[in-house]
A and B are shown apart, each in its own frame.
Chain A
Amino acid sequence: MNQHDAIQAVLARHGNDGTRLMQILRETQEALGWLAPETLTAIARGVNWPRAKVEGTASFYSFFHTRPLGLYRVLWSDNITDRMLGSVELMQAMCQKLWLEPGRVSEDGLVSVDATSCTGMCDQGPAVLVNYRAVTRMTPERVDRMVELIRSRTPLADWPQDWFRVEDNVRRSDILLGNDMVPGDALRACLARGTESTLNEVKAAQLRGRGGAGFTTGLKWEACRNAPGKTRYVVCNADEGEPGTFKDRVLLTRQPDLVFEGMTVAAYAIGASKGYVYLRGEYRYLLESLNSALARRREAGLLGKNILGRSGANGGFDFDIEVHLGAGAYVCGEESALIESLEGKRGVPRNRPPYPVTHGFLDQPTVVNNVETFAAAALIALRGGDWYKSFGTPRSAGTKLLSVSGDCERPGIYEYPFGVTVQQVLEECGAGVGTGDTQAVQISGPSGITLGPDEFGRRIAFEDIPTAGAFMIFDLRRDIFDVVRNFIHFFAHESCGFCTPCRVGTTLLKNLVDKIAGGHGTRSDLNEIHNINRVLQAAAHCGLGHTAGNPLAHTLEKFRPAYERRLKSLEFEPAFDLDAALSQARQMTGRDDAGAHLANELETPR
C-alpha cells in the first residue's frame, strides 16, 4: 500500500473525525514510521482541521514524531528505579555499540536511542520501549543481543518473546485482586436494584477516587447524572503516568472485566451510553487483549444494545466501551487534559469551572475515574456499600493497591486495607534486607511526599498519606539528591507549557538542580529554589505545576545535607560556568581528557 492509501485507510477507519486525531496519528505512524509534513497535511485535509492544529497535536506528544527516528526506536525508561537498576549505564553501552548519541538517529536511518519518562515497569526494570512495545528486565547481555538484532534488521516479531513478558508480581491480594466475581453479576445486581439505589450504594460505600485526589465517587456520579446534557460519558483514566505507579497495568491485565463492569455500573447510574478507556501509550501492548475482553463482553450481552437482554423500555440500557491510546504525556492524567486529548487536541488542562461532570467530553457531562475506582465500584455494586465500608478506616473505606519498587526484595503489587502503616509495607516487601536500612520512601510518585524513617509509622489513608499508589523505596546506599534531580527533570520534560510558571519555572528548577549537581551551587540557589517553588504553588495552572517543586521542598526540609555537601563554600559563585562553555569545543575536537577541562581546586565539591 502506498503512503496515500495508507493514510486514507486510517482516515476512513475513523470516519474522518478530527476528535479521533490521536488514534489517526498513531495508526498512521504505525503504518508509515513517522509523521512527515505532507502526511500531516493529508490528515488535516482528511479531518477538515487547520493543518497547524493537527501539527500542534502531533508535536505535543512524546510518542508522535514529526521527523524520522529510525526503523527501530529504543526508549529507556528513565524513572529513578530504572536508574537504580543500572539503566543509565546500559543505555550508554547501547549507544556506544550503535555509534549513537542519545536522541539522534543513526546516519543510516536505522535506529535511535533515547530516554523516556517512567514506563510503569518499575518492579521489573530496567525497562525499554522498542517501537513502543515494552521490554522488561534489561541486562548487558540483552543489550548486546538487541544491538545485533537491530543491526541485522530482524523484525520485532522474531525477537525473543521472553523479552516482552510483563510480570504481574501480585504479592498481596485483598478484596479487589482476590475477587472471584463472575462477569455480569454486578450488573445483574444493579438492574435488580435500579439506578437510584445503585448510586446510593456507591455513596454509602464512601468510595473515594483512587487517582490521588480522592474526590467522593458517588457525589461525582450524582453531579454528572443531574447535569443537563444531550448525552453523558464514562471515561476510565488509565493514563497511569506517575513515575513509580504500575497498579493499573496489573488491574487491566488480570481484572479487565472488573474494570469494564465498574464502568458499565457507572454508565447505568448516570445514564451514559458511551465509555472510553484512556490507556497510556506506554501500555500499547495491552490494546489487543483489552479489545478481546471487550468483544467477549459484547458477545455475553454485557456491553452493547440492551445489556443483559433488558431493553430501555424494560428498565435496561445500552452501553459500549472503546479503548483510546495516549501517546506519551504525563499531563493527560489530569482529567480535563485527558478529555482534551480524547478530543484529538493538545493535552492542556482546561480552565475550571466548568468541571467535567457538567462540561466534559465534547462538552457533555462526563465522569472521569481511575481504573482502580471503577474496579472497586463493581464490587460495591455486587456486594453493597456497607460491605465495602467495613474495610479500611472510618474515613478511608476499602483497600488500596500499592505499586512497590526500589530497594526491596519483593517489588510488585500489594493490596492493603486503608490504614496500613508505611513500616508494615516495608517489612512485608523485604525492604532493607541485606542492603542496609531504608533511608526514605517516596509515596505517590514525584508529585507526592518524601518520608524519612521517623515518619514510617504514618498510615496510607486519605486522612494521613493520600496516594495514587506509588511506593518507591530508597536505602542508605542511595543519594537522595539523585532521586530529586531525576524527579525535577521529569516535571520539566512533562510540563505542557500552557502557563508561564510551570513552563519556565520547571526548567529553571532543573537548571538550578543541575548546577548544584555540577558542584557550582551556592546557598543562594537553595533560596532561589524556594522562591520559584512558591510561585509554582501560587500561580501554576494545574496539579502538575503545583506539585512540581514538592520533591525539592520535602527533601530540602528532611534531607538537607544531601544538598549542602554539594554546595561551594564560597559566598559568591559566578553563574557563568567557563568549563561548561567549552563543552562544544570538546565535542568538536572529540576530546574529553583532563587537559580539555578547566580544572581547579575550587570546583571540587566539599
Chain B
Amino acid sequence: MSEPTFTLDGREIPFAAGQSVMQAALAAGVFVPHLCYHPEFRPHGSCKLCTMKINGRHATSCTTPAAAGLEVESDTPEIQDKRRTLLQMLLVEGNHFCPSCEKSGECKLQALGYELGVLTPHFNLLYPDRPVDASHPDVLLDFNRCILCELCVRASAEVDKKSVFALAGRGIRKHLIVNAESGKLGDTDFALTDKAAQVCPVGVILPKKCGFCVPIGQRRFDAAPISQHVDEFKPVAIPGERA
C-alpha cells in the first residue's frame, strides 16, 4: 500500500502516522515559517506563523494532524500577507534593534522578516520597558527581544527538569520570568549547558564572554536565507513523547 498523502499548494506531501501538517511539509523539504516550533519539542501553536488554509479553514499547521486528502494552502499572497502582519506585530511588541544585536544573522525573527519581505515594522512601536538581567555569571538575559515562544520554558521544564523559566502577566503585559524570589537569573540553578540556553530563536538568552565571535555577515542566515535551512527543522523523535 502506498503512503497516504495530502496536497500542499498543489504538491503531494506524504506523511507518517502522528505527524502534523507542518512536520510532513518540513520532512518533504517544504519550508514553513515558524518561531515557536522546534523539532525536539511538542508543538505549541502560539506564534501562528505556520497558519495555513486547511480544507478552506485557517489553522496552525503545527497542531493540525496530517490526514489523507487534505487540501492545504500555504504559499499564497493572502497567507504570506498575514504572516508579514504577524511578524510586524512581534517587531513592534518588543524592542528589536537588529544592527546592534548579538544574534543578528542567527535570529529567526530577523531571518523570517527577510524571507517574507518585511521592510518596516509598519505599526507604531510599543516600546515596552523591559530591564535586562545580567545577574548570572555566564548568561545575559535581554528581555527586550523576547517573543514569548516559550521554548526556553519548555526546554527547562521538559529536558533540564529545572523549570527556570515561566510566563507571568496576561495579554500585552505577558512576560518571561525566572524561578527565583528575587526575579534574578543569578539566583536560579540555570547553567550555560542547559538545553534552555540553546533554544531561543531570538536574542534573549546570550552567553557572556563572547561578543560577536562570528562577525556579522558570516552567520547562519547571512549565508543562506532561512528557507534554505529546511533540513535543520525536519522532525526528529521528541524526548519523552510516546512513540
Contact = CB atoms under 8 A, between A and B. Distances in A.
Interface of A: 37-38, 40-41, 50-53, 55-56, 59-62, 329, 346, 351, 353, 492-501, 503-508, 511, 531-532, 534-535, 537-541, 575
Given A351-B43, A534-B82, A500 B90 contact: yes
Top-3 shortest CB links A-B: A52-B166, A497-B174, A50-B163
A575 B124 contact: yes
Contacts of B44: 351
Given A507-B126, A539-B86, A495 B181 contact: no
A54 to B, nearest CB: 9
Contact of A56 (B85, B148, B177, B181): B177
Contacts of B147: 500
Interface stretch (B46-54, B202-210, B217-225): B46-54
B172 A503 contact: yes
B179 A495 contact: no
Given A37-B181, A55-B177, A500 B168 contact: no
Contacts of B63: 351
Given A507-B126, A541-B45, A501 B89 contact: yes
B148 to A, nearest CB: 7
B142 to A, nearest CB: 18
Given A351-B43, A535-B82, A541-B45, A51 B180 contact: yes
Contacts of A575: 124
Nearest to A347: B170
Contacts of A55: 166, 168, 177
Nearest to B180: A51
20 contacts: A40-B181, A50-B157, A51-B179, A52-B168, A62-B170, A351-B43, A351-B45, A351-B63, A497-B169, A497-B171, A500-B49, A500-B86, A500-B90, A503-B93, A504-B92, A506-B171, A507-B172, A537-B58, A538-B51, A575-B124
B167 interface: yes
B86 A52 contact: no
Contacts of A62: 170
A52 B82 contact: no
A159 B126 CA distance: 43
B163 A59 contact: no
Contact of B170 (A52, A60, A499): A60
Nearest to A508: B123
A61 to B, nearest CB: 8
B72 interface: no
Contacts of A497: 148, 167, 169-174
Contacts of A532: 85
A45 to B, nearest CB: 11
A506 B172 CA distance: 9
A503 B128 CA distance: 14
Contacts of B15: none
Given A50-B163, A507-B126, A539-B82, A492 B179 contact: no
A544 B178 CA distance: 28
B41 interface: no
A188 to B, nearest CB: 44
A504 B90 contact: yes
Contacts of B82: 534-535, 538-539
Nearest to B49: A500
Contact of B171 (A492, A537, A538): A492
A108 to B, nearest CB: 27
A329 B148 CA distance: 20
A499 B148 CA distance: 9
Nearest to A37: B181
Contacts of B163: 50, 52-53
A132 B58 CA distance: 40
B171 A52 contact: no
B168 A508 contact: no
B89 A500 contact: yes
B143 interface: no
A499 B171 contact: no
A61 B167 CA distance: 13
A201 B226 CA distance: 57
A351 B48 CA distance: 12
A231 B166 CA distance: 30
Interface string B31-42: 000000000000
A507 B170 CA distance: 12
B6 interface: no
A56 B123 CA distance: 29
Given A499-B48, A500-B47, A60 B169 contact: yes
Residue among B51, B166, B179 having the largest count of chain A Cβ atoms under 10 Å: B166
B167 A504 contact: no
Given A51-B181, A503-B174, A507-B172, A346 B85 contact: no
Contacts of A537: 58
Given A501-B86, A532-B85, A539-B51, A329 B177 contact: no
Contacts of A507: 126, 171-172
A62 B169 CA distance: 9
Contacts of B164: 52
Given A497-B174, A503-B174, A504-B93, 16 more contacts: A50-B157, A52-B164, A52-B180, A56-B168, A60-B169, A353-B65, A496-B174, A497-B171, A498-B46, A503-B93, A503-B171, A505-B89, A507-B172, A537-B58, A539-B48, A539-B82
Nearest to A66: B168
Contact of A511 (B51, B124, B180): B124
A504 B85 CA distance: 11
Contacts of A41: 181
A527 to B, nearest CB: 12
B58 A538 contact: yes
A21 to B, nearest CB: 13
A526 B93 CA distance: 21
A529 to B, nearest CB: 12
A60 B175 CA distance: 11
Nearest to A38: B181
Given A492-B172, A508-B123, A500 B48 contact: yes
Contacts of B180: 51-52
A411 to B, nearest CB: 30
A537 B48 CA distance: 12
Nearest to A515: B124
A50 B89 contact: no
B56 to A, nearest CB: 12
Contacts of A504: 89-90, 92-93, 126, 172
Contact of A59 (B45, B86, B89, B168): B168
Interface string B111-152: 000000000000110100000000000000000000110000
Given A52-B165, A501-B48, A495 B172 contact: yes
Contacts of A503: 93, 148, 171-172, 174
Contacts of A496: 170-171, 174
Given A52-B166, A492-B172, A539-B86, A499 B46 contact: yes
B169 A59 contact: yes
Interface in B49-95: 49, 51, 58, 60, 63, 65, 82, 85-86, 89-90, 92-93
Contacts of A499: 45-48
Contacts of A541: 45-46, 48
Q: Which among A40, A50, A329, A505 has the highest number of chain B CB atoms within 10 Å?
A: A50
Given A497-B170, A504-B90, A52 B46 contact: no
Contact of A508 (B47, B89, B167, B179): B89
